[in-house]
């Protein structure tokens, strides 16, 4: 005879395996414990009833959510809100799906993420690129956790690698004004200062390869100031949600 547990749940057997039954929002859920121990059934039923009471039930159906589904949801979210980093996200999704193909979200652990990092490093992928990929995957998990109803219950701890390939050629505000003060007052200075504040990044990028400076005589004083030749006109602030 099935054993009832306080809180609208019960434990019963099918063959030698214990099953549990519980209600959530008026619907009955039946779930195998995959165990022959009644104590395991009682613990699982207590967990499910607690999750149901808090409105955060992650049942057997939700435990089949895959990493690919989470990444698809993130892609839809970026498209819906017109996020500028959508183009970058689209470069992250293929290697993430390749690494976690058919993996369930509940099976993604810190250990598994570390193994992914090791594989990418063996393929000579830069640490900065690996961090960006993991950042996209973490955002996918957070989006799933914040969903109603939630698709995942736990967001694993994500590794963060040191980055030794930081870009060079940036001016902070003090350095910028020391240089801009020597620009000719023929409209160029106004334009450069407008660009600096328009970017709103706190730093300004002088594009080009580090160390490759060109000189230009400014004014009649004979003073020269190094300016990198523009090789990239696309300046933007990085986005880290």
pLDDT per residue as tens, the chain (241 positions): 455 544 568 899 989 999 988 876 677 878 888 889 999 888 888 888 887 777 656 556 667 789 999 999 999 999 999 998 899 999 999 999 999 988 889 889 999 999 999 999 999 999 999 999 999 999 999 999 999 888 888 899 999 999 975 555 555 666 666 676 667 666 676 777 777 766 654 444 444 444 443 333 333 343 334 333 333 333 334 444 4
pTM to 2 decimal places: 0.51
The pLDDT of residue 58 is 58
Q: Is residue 19 within 8 Å of 29, Cβ to Cβ? A: no
Q: Is residue 137 within 8 Å of 96, Cβ to Cβ? A: yes
Give the integer Cα–Cα distance in Å for 241 and 220: 48
* 93-130 CB burial, b ≥16 within 10 A, e <16: bebbbebbeeeebbebeeeebeebbeebeeeeeebebb
């Amino acid at each position: 005879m099935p054993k009832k547990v306080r809180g609208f749940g019960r434990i019963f057997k099918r063959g030698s395996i214990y099953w549990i039954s519980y209600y959530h929002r008026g619907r009955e859920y039946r779930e195998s414990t995959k165990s022959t121990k009644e104590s395991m059934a009682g613990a699982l039923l207590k967990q499910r009833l607690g999750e149901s009471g808090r409105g955060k039930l992650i049942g057997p159906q939700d435990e089949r959510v895959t990493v690919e589904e989470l990444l698809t949801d993130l892609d839809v979210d970026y498209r819906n809100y017109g996020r500028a980093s959508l183009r970058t996200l689209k470069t992250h999704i293929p290697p993430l799906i390749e690494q976690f193909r058919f993996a369930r979200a509940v099976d993604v652990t810190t250990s598994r993420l570390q193994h992914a990092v090791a594989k990418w490093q063996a393929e000579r992928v830069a640490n900065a690129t690996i961090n960006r990929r993991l950042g996209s995957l973490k955002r996918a998990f957070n989006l799933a956790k914040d969903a109603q109803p939630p698709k995942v219950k736990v967001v694993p701890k994500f590794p963060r690698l040191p980055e030794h390939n930081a870009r060079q050629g940036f001016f902070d505000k003090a350095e910028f004004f020391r240089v801009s003060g020597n620009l000719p007052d023929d409209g160029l200075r106004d334009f450069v200062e407008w660009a600096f504040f328009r970017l709103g990044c706190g730093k300004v990028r002088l594009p080009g390869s580090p160390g490759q400076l060109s000189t230009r005589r400014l004014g009649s004083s004979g003073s020269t100031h190094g300016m990198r030749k523009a090789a990239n006109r696309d300046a933007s602030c990085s986005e880290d949600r």
